[in-house]
Structure 1
C-alpha cells in the first residue's frame, strides 16, 4: 500500500491552501482550485472520477488542520449516498462545490439503521416525512437534504428540498466548534424517493464514511504528535529540554506507535474500499475503532506534555482534544464498531452489543 506521485501532489496542494485560508474560507479555493467536492464523483457528472485513496489524502490533511469545511458531510456522506442510491440528478451540483449536501440519518445519537424512527408515508401529493434527525453534519446550512426514513416496506432514502414546508433546522453549539452539527425536524415535509433499498445504501455509506473519518483521525493524531515533539524539544526544565527525560521519551514512543498503527488501519480500509473488497465492512470497523482510540490517546498526551499551556484557550491542544472526543462518537463508538467486527467473525454478540453500534 503506497501512495503515488499524484497523491503527494494532491497532499501538497491541499496543505498549502489550508495554510493560506483559515476556517470555512478554505472551502471555496479547495473546490475551485483542486476540485475536492467532486473528487469521488464520476467524470460524467462533473467530478474528477477519483476514489477512496484520494479522499483519504484529503481527509488526512483536513484532520491535520482541524478544518471546518463541509467535506465529510457533503463530499462523502451525501455524495456517496446518492451514488449508492443510483440517483445522479443532484451529483453535478454537489461536485461543483457551490452546493453542499447533508445526510440526515442519526436519531437519538444512534447511527444504527434499526434505530431510525422517522416515517415516510405516501399520499396523493407524493411522499411525506415526519421525524427528528440529530447530529446532522452541516445540516443547518446545507442546500441538499437527504433523509433516511422508514416506510411500510423498510428503510428508504429521500431528497427533501431545503426550503420545503415542514422542515425546521436548529444549529447546535457543540463541544467541537470545528464540526458544525444540527437537529432537523420534519413535519409532513414533501420528499422525493431516491431508493427503497435503504439498508444496503446505509451499510455502504457507513463503511465509506468510517473509512474517510479514520483517515481524518489519523492525520489529526499525527499532527498532535508533531506539535508535541516540537514542544518538548524547546521546553527547558532543570537546565535541559524535557524531551530528554526518559519518562517523556516513553510517552512519545507510545504515541508514535499509536499514530503509525492508526495510519496503517486507516490506509488499509481505504485500499479495501478502492479495490471493492467484500471485507470492507470489517476493515472500516477496525479503522474507525483503532483511529478513534489512537487520536483520543495522543490528543490527551499532547495536553499533558504541554503542561499548563495545553489547557489554555490560546493553544490548539484543546481543539484537537475536542475533535478527538467528538469524532470518536461520530458514526458509532469504538465499542460499537468492535461489536460489528465480532459479529462478522463469531456471529451476533447479543442485544447489548447491538445497542452500542
Structure 2
C-alpha cells in the first residue's frame, strides 16, 4: 500500500498543528490538570471555531465527512501538546453511532457530538448485564468518565448507549497518573439504555477509532519528546560544550529517532486501511497501537533522562509526556495483548485458517 497526503490533508495537518501549538499551552494544560481534567475553552474552540469535533462524522449529521486519516492528523497534533481534551471517548462513540446506530440515534446524537455539546466515554473493561433495555453492572477505567454525558459499553453481545446522568447511575472519579485524561468508574443499576442497531459493526468501528486515536496521539507525543530534547541538547552546555555533542547523548537521540521513523507508517497504514475497508485493517490497527504506544513510552523516558535534573521536576513538561505515554500504553489493550492478536492472525493465516 502506497500512501501520501492529499493537498487537502496536508492543509488539515498544518492547520491542526498550528491550532494546538498556539492554544494547548503548558500553562493551560496544567490549569486543566488542577481542575477537572478538560480544557473547556480549548474544547469549545476545537469543536466550534474549527469544527474538528465532527472530523470523522457524516456530513448529513453535521460532521465534516472525512475519514480516519484526517482523524489521525488531529489526534497526532493534540498528542504533540498533551492536550487536555476528551477526544478518545468522543471519537469512539461517534464512530459507533455512524457505523451501527439507528437513524433516530444518528439524528439525535451525531449533530450534538459534532458540535462538541456532549462529552462521551467508552468502556473497554466492563462487567455489564442486560435485561430488556436496562443494563446493570460496573464499567471501569472510563476516560473523562466523571465528566461524561454518554457512555458506550458492550453487554450481552450488543453495544449500548447509556445516559450517565440518568437515574440508577453512580460515577466515581479517580486520581490517575495522567491528569489530562482522568478515569472514573460507573455503576449501573437497572439503567435504561439504547442498543445500537448493529452492535457488532458499531463496536468494531469504535475500537478502530480508539486505537487510531491513541496511536496517533502517541506518534505526536513521541516526535515532540524528541524535538524538545534535541532543542535542549543545543542549549545546555557542560564542560564548555553543548551536551548534544557528546557521543552517548547522540546515541540516545538516534535511538529515539529510529523508532519514531517507523511509527508514522504504522499509524497511517492503519488509518488508510480502515478508510479503504482493506483486509489489512485489523492487523494494521493492532500494529499501530502497540508499536506507537511503546515508541512514545521509550521516547518519553529518554526525554526525562536526557534533560537531567530539570527533567525530573514538576516545573518541566517532561513528566506530562511520560504520564500520557504510560496511560496510552495500557488503554484499550496493552502492547502484549495486541501483539498476541497479531501473532494469532499470522499463525492462523499460515495454517490456512481464516483470521
TM-score by length of 1: 0.88
3-state SS of paired residue (1:219): helix
Match of 1:241 in 2: 242
Match of 1:184, SS state, is strand
1:175-254 alignment, distance < 5 Å: 175-195=177-197, 197-254=198-255
- 2:144 aligned with 1:128, yes or no? no
Kept in 1: contact 2:159–2:200 (CA 8 A): no
Q: Which residue of 2 aligns with 1:71?
A: 87
List runs of 5+ in structure 1 lacking aligned partners. Answer: 108-116, 349-357
- Counterpart of 2:95? 80
Distance 2:209 2:19 in 1: 25
The answer to whether residue 146 in structure 2 is matched with residue 140 in structure 1 is yes
* CA deviations over 1:275-330 (Å, ceiling 9, x no partner): 11122110000111111111111111111110001100000111101111110010
Aligned to 1:149: 155
Paired position in structure 2 for 1:290: 291
Q: Are residue 99 (structure 1) and residue 100 (structure 2) matched?
A: no
**What is the CA distance between 1:128 and its match in structure 2?**
1.4
What's the Cα RMSD here?
A: 1.6
Q: Which residue of 119, 124, 131 corresponds with 2:129?
A: 119
Tell me, in whole angstroms, the C-alpha distance in 1 between the residues paired with 2:163 and 2:251.
54
Deviations 1:45-82 (A, max 9, x none): 111101011101100000001011112211x1110111
Unaligned 5+ runs, structure 2 = 30-38, 350-355
Q: In 1, distance between residues paired with 2:279 and 2:348?
A: 17
Cα drift, residue 145 of structure 1? 2.5
1:224-270 CA deviation, whole Å, 9 max, x = no partner?
A: 00000011111111110111111111111111011111122111111
Matching residue within 172, 175, 190 for 1:173:
175
| Alpha-carbon distance in structure 2 between the residues aligned to 1:145 and 1:292 | 25
How far apart are the structure 2 equivalents of 1:302 and 1:161? Answer: 41
Conserved 8 A contact 2:92-2:205: no
TM-score, normalised via structure 2 length: 0.89
